[in-house]
Chain A
C-alpha cells in the first residue's frame, strides 16, 4: 500500500476521448513527493521540447500531494502544471479551497490532460468513475455560475469544480481556472491551456479515505502546530484579517510596488489611500470567515458589498496581492473599484496580479502619451482613476476593443502595439508579483532565476527579508548561496507536499518533513528533504534547459532591482545585484551559471533524473 496517496493517476486524451488509469509509482512518490514534483517529472517525460503550449501535444496537470485529504493542517492545496504560453518554459501554480482534496478522495493523486476536444467538454470524476461530458451549454458561463450549474446537473451538492470563465475560453494568456468560486491556480498561463483544449471544467466528488501510515503522529503534529499558531502574532493577524492586513503597511514601507514600480508609497500613494485598501478597513463588508480544507488559520472571508459604485452583493475578501495590484500599483485608493476588479477576475477567470499589472503598464503608457485615448477606446486611463480601471478590466473580461489585446497581458500588448516595452515590469514576460526586491533583495533572485519566474510563492532568502524591517546587511550580496538554496529547497518540498506557504507563519520548517514522514511512512529527515527538494528543482530546471532556456536567458526588468535607484522614500538609493545573487545560488545548486549545465555527478547522486542526464550528457551516462 502506498500510504499518503490515492494510488492512481488519470491520463486523458481529449482528442481521442481515451481515459487511462495508471498506478502511482512508488518511486515517483519517493523521488518527487507530489504537486509540481510529480508534474515536472511527468511533463518532462510526456512532452517533447518545442511543443506548442496551446497545441494538442501540450499536457496540463492537476496534482495533489501526500498531505492532501488527510488530517494534516494546511494540507489542502493542489498544483496546476503546464508549459507556459507566455515564457515558453516551465509553469506551475497552486491553489487552496477544497478542489484538491476532493480530487484525491475521488481516487486520484493527479490528472494529466492532453489533446484538443472538437467541442467544449468537462471532465467529471466521481469516486473512481470518469467521464468526458459535453459542456456546450456551459460555454460562456462565468466560473461561479458553472459551479452552480454542475452541482445541479450532477445532483451533487458537494461537488468541487475548477473551471475557466469566458477569459479562458478566449485563450487569454493571463486567464486561469477558478475553483470553489474564488481560489485560483492563476499564474503563468494556466487558463489558456484549458481554453485551447476546449476544457471548460473539471468537476470532482469523492468520499474515499486516504491511507495514512501513522495517523496518531499526524494528530500529535497538529497539536504542536496549533500551539505554535497561538504564539504567532503574524498567524493571529492573518487569521483575523487575512493577507490584506498588511496592505497599508506594505504600501508605505516599500514592500508593495507603487505606480507601476516607479513610485514611492509614502510620497505618491499616501497613508489615507493605503489604509482604505487594507482588510482592517474593508472587513466592514465581512459576513463570514473562510478556511480552505484542513486549514486552522483561515485567511479568507466572505463579503457582502451593497454600497459604492459597484454593489456586488456576495463576494470575497481580496488577497493582499490583488489589493496591491489594483491599489498602490495603480495609485488607486478607491476600494470599490478594487473589489469590482477582484470580482471580475474571479468570475471571468483572470490572474489578478497579471491583470492589475497589465493595467498599470497601460496606465503609465497613457500618462506618458505612448498609448493614446484612441488606443484605449476613449478611456482616460489616468493614475488612480478607479472608474477607468474598472472599464478597462471589463473590456479585458469581454475581450472587447483594447481589452482583446490587454487580456493577453502586458508583454503581448507591448508587442502588439509595438510601443511601451520599456515600461513593462516582468520576469521573463510574466508580470511581477506584489513584493518589491528593492525592499527584500533576495526576491530578485527568485523572481528572475527560479524555473517558474516571477512568483512570490517560491523559495529563497527574500521570503524571510519580506517579514523584516529594511536591513543594510540584506544589501550585501556576498555569500548568499547556501541560505538562498536551503530556503528554496524547503519550499520545493512544502509545495510538492500540497501544504500551504502560510504554514510557515506558525510552524518550524521540520514540521513539513514530520507530516510527510507520518503520512507516507517514509524516512524523511533533513538530508532527504534537501536531496528531494534539489531533485524537484532540477526537474523543473531541466524542463527549461531542454527548451533552450538557461539562467542567462532569464530576464527581470530594471525598476525591480533599483536601476536606477528610487530618489525618495524608505528605499531611496537601494539597488540589487541580481546577477551576483544568481551566480551565488546556481553555484551552490551545482549548476554552471554561464553554460547552464548542472553537474553530472550531482544529478547521478540525486537519482531519479536518468532522462535528464541522458538529454544533457547523451546515452553514455
Chain B
C-alpha cells in the first residue's frame, strides 16, 4: 500500500513524501522506518513527533491504510 507523507518544521525537505508499506503497518512501525532512514540529527525529533492521519490524531497502534495522508509534526511549543 502507498501512503503520502507531509512534514512540518525542521524535518522539512529531508524525508520521503511517498512510502510503499506492507498492509497492516501501524504508526509505530512507520516511525521506526522513518527514524532508520533519517539523518542522525533528525532521529530524536522524529521519535517525539506527532502523527496525524487523515486529519485525525494517531497513536502508535493506529493501523495505516492505502492512500492515507500522514502529517508528521514536530511538537515545538514556542513562546
A457 to B78, CA, bound (A): 11
Give the residue of A243, A248, A435 whose beta carbon is less than 8 angstroms from that of B8.
Answer: A248
A463 to B77 Cα, complex, angstroms: 8
Interface pair B78/A470, CB less than 8 Å apart: no
A280 CA / B49 CA spacing, docked (Å): 18
A401 at the interface (CB under 8 A from B): no
Question: CB distance B48 to A243 under 8 Å?
Answer: no
Q: How far is the CA of A87 from the CA of B53 in the complex (A)?
A: 41
- Which of B8, B71, B75 is A468 in contact with, Cβ under 8 Å? B75
Chain B nearest CB, measured from A606 CB (Å): 29
Which residues of chain B come closer than 8 Å to A457, judged between CB atoms? 79
Q: Which residue of B lies closest to A240 (CB)?
A: B10
Q: Is B6 in contact with chain A by the CB < 8 A criterion?
A: yes
Contacts of A440 in B (CB 8 A): 77
Q: In the complex, which range does the number of interface residues on chain B fall in?
A: 20 to 34
Determine the chain A residues whose CB is within 8 A of the CB of B9 once the complex forms: 237, 245-246, 248-249, 278, 280
A466 touches B50 (CB 8 A): no
Any chain B CB within 8 A of the CB of A258?
no
Cross-chain contact of A501 among B10, B12, B79 (Cβ < 8 A): B79
CB 8 Å contact bits of B52-79 with A (1 = contact, 0 = none): 1001110100000000000101111111
A231 to chain B, nearest CB (A): 9
Closest beta carbon of chain B to A316's beta carbon, Å: 15
Instruction: Given A266-B52, A271-B8, decide whether A469 and B75 contact each other with a Cβ distance below 8 A.
Output: yes
For this complex, into which size category does the number of interface residues on chain A fall?
A: 35 or more
Q: Interface-forming stretch among A20-28, A382-390, A550-558, A567-575?
A: A567-575
Contacts of A246 in B (CB 8 A): 9, 74-78
Q: A267-B55, A470-B50, A570-B52 are in contact. Are A250 and B78 (CB under 8 A)?
A: yes
Q: Of the candidates B10, B41, B50, B52, which one forms a contact with A245 in the assembled complex, judged by CB atoms under 8 Å apart? A: B10
The distance from the CB of A494 to the nearest CB of chain B, in whole angstroms, is: 13
Name the B residues within 8 Å of A568 (CB-CB).
55
Whether B55 pairs with A234 at a CB distance below 8 angstroms is: no
Please report which residues of chain A, range 119-162, place their CB below 8 angstroms from some CB of chain B when the two chains form the complex.
Answer: none
Closest to B54 in A: A266
From known contacts A233-B41, A233-B45, infer whether A569 and B8 are also in contact, taking CB-CB under 8 Å: no
In the bound complex, do residue A243 and residue B79 qualify as a contact, i.e. CB atoms below 8 Å apart?
yes
Assess the A570–B56 pair: CB atoms within 8 A: yes
Give the Cβ gap from B22 to chain A, nearest Cβ, in Å: 24
Cβ < 8 Å to B, chain A residues 227-275: 233-234, 236-238, 240-250, 252-255, 264, 266-267, 271, 274-275
A469-B10 in contact given A502-B79, A571-B57 (Cβ < 8 Å) = no
Whole-angstrom distance between the alpha carbons of A303 and B45 in the complex?
27
Which residues does chain A contribute within 8 Å of B71, judged by CB atoms? Answer: 252-253, 266, 271
Say yes or no: is A319 at the interface (Cβ < 8 Å to chain B): yes
* B8 near A321: Cβ-Cβ < 8 Å: no
List, in ascending order, chain B residues with CB within 8 A of A255's CB.
Answer: 75, 77
**A249:B74 contact, CB within 8 angstroms:** yes
- Closest chain-A Cβ to B78's Cβ sits at a distance in Å of 3
Kindly list chain B residues whose C-beta atoms are within 8 Å of the C-beta of A289. none
In the complex, which residues of chain A have a beta carbon less than 8 angstroms from the beta carbon of B8?
248-249, 252, 271, 274-275, 278
A546 within 8 A of B: no
* Contact partners of B48 in chain A: CB under 8 A: 467-469
B75→A321 contact, CB < 8 A: no
Q: Is the CB of A469 within 8 A of B50?
A: yes
Q: How far is the CB of A92 from chain B (nearest CB, A)?
A: 16
Q: A435 near B44 (CB under 8 angstroms)?
A: no
Chain A residues engaging chain B, CB cutoff 8 angstroms: 233-234, 236-238, 240-250, 252-255, 264, 266-267, 271, 274-275, 278, 280, 319-321, 435, 440, 456-457, 463, 466-470, 472, 501-502, 568-572
8 further A-B contacts with Cβ under 8 Å, apart from A319-B78, A469-B50, are A233-B44, A234-B76, A241-B10, A253-B73, A321-B78, A469-B75, A501-B79, A570-B52
Q: Give me 22 A-to-B residue pairs in the complex whose CB atoms sit less than 8 angstroms apart, sorted by A's number.
A: A233-B41, A233-B45, A240-B10, A243-B79, A245-B78, A246-B77, A252-B8, A252-B52, A253-B73, A253-B75, A266-B52, A266-B55, A266-B71, A274-B8, A275-B8, A280-B10, A320-B79, A321-B79, A468-B48, A468-B75, A469-B50, A572-B56
**3 nearest A-B residue pairs (beta carbon):** A320-B78, A246-B76, A243-B78
